[in-house]
Amino acid sequence: MKFFVDTADVAEIKDLAASGLLDGVTTNPSLIMKAGRPMLDVIKEICAIVPGPVSAETVATDHKTMLAEGRKLAKLAKNVAVKVPLTPDGLKTCKALAAEGTMVNVTLCFSAAQALLAAKAGAAFISPFVGRLDDIGQDGMHLIAEIMTIYRQYPHFETEVLVASVRHSMHVVQAAKLGAHVATVPPNVLRQLFKHALTDNGLKAFLDDWAKTGQSIL
């Protein structure tokens, strides 16, 4: 499974990239707002840090303007994945950009039917939002299972399932068990994957015993 981090915080991205864990980055208008910097500058900087796909989202709702925005974003760096919404105009834009060789991430997916349409439109990534479905009493991971089942029936589909709106580490584990290609996670959730009480307790015991030896490796 690939790990993308869902943030526009450059300092966080640099820190996580140093661990070798990051395969890409996803951003959206809300994350850009939190960054408090011009969007194009932020995307360029992130693309220079992470060699993998960096999602940059269009904000227009009509096809003509969305396509123009997508083309401008795609020119920022070779690893930009233009993000478009799962709407009729978004899928038209996806098809046009994909035909030009641009990676497209189709976002705000909430049904298997929508995911099927995105694959047919040539999306590089489909982003089902599991946490938001959980929030309204539906099972977000069931949607991932449905999409994976459908995509496996059609080997010619090249669209990767990018699990989004991840709220906790178990979302990541469940998505991996289902065979999802990518999970995009907030920095705090990515760090949760490291944590286990027995690891912390075991390390403390080893270090306490080592201290008693009075030795030093260096």
User: pLDDT tens digits, residue range 178-207?
Assistant: 999 999 999 999 999 999 999 999 999 999
Altogether, the residues listed in the chain come to a count of: 218
pLDDT of residue 121: 98
pLDDT tens, position by position, 102-144? 999 999 999 999 999 999 999 999 999 999 999 999 999 999 9
Which contacts of 34-41 are long-range, i.e. CB under 8 A and separated by 24 or more positions?
34/8, 34/9, 35/8, 35/9, 35/10, 40/73, 40/76
Catalytic residue status for 78: no
Longest dimension (CA), the chain: 71
Contact 84, 118 (CB under 8 A): no
Domain 2-213: CATH class, spelled out? alpha beta
Of 78, 83, 195, 212, which one is the catalytic site residue? 83
Q: What is the pLDDT of residue 156?
A: 95
The Cα 123–Cα 26 span in angstroms is 15
Residue in 142, 82, 152 with CA at minimum distance from that of residue 112: 142
What residues have CB less than 8 Å from 126, skipping those under 6 apart?
Answer: 105, 106, 109, 115, 118, 119, 147, 159, 160, 161, 162
Using CA atoms, how far apart are residues 39 and 55, in angstroms rounded to an integer?
A: 12
* pLDDT at residue 87, rounded to an integer: 98
The pLDDT tens digits of the residues spanning 46-70 come to 999 999 999 999 999 999 999 999 9
Residue 160: per-residue pLDDT: 98
Q: Which of 97, 94, 99, 13 is nearest to 108 (CA)?
A: 94
Confidence of residue 174 (pLDDT cuts 50, 70, 90): very high
Q: What are the structural domain ranges in the chain?
A: 2-213
At 128 the pLDDT is 98
Q: What is the pLDDT of residue 86?
A: 98
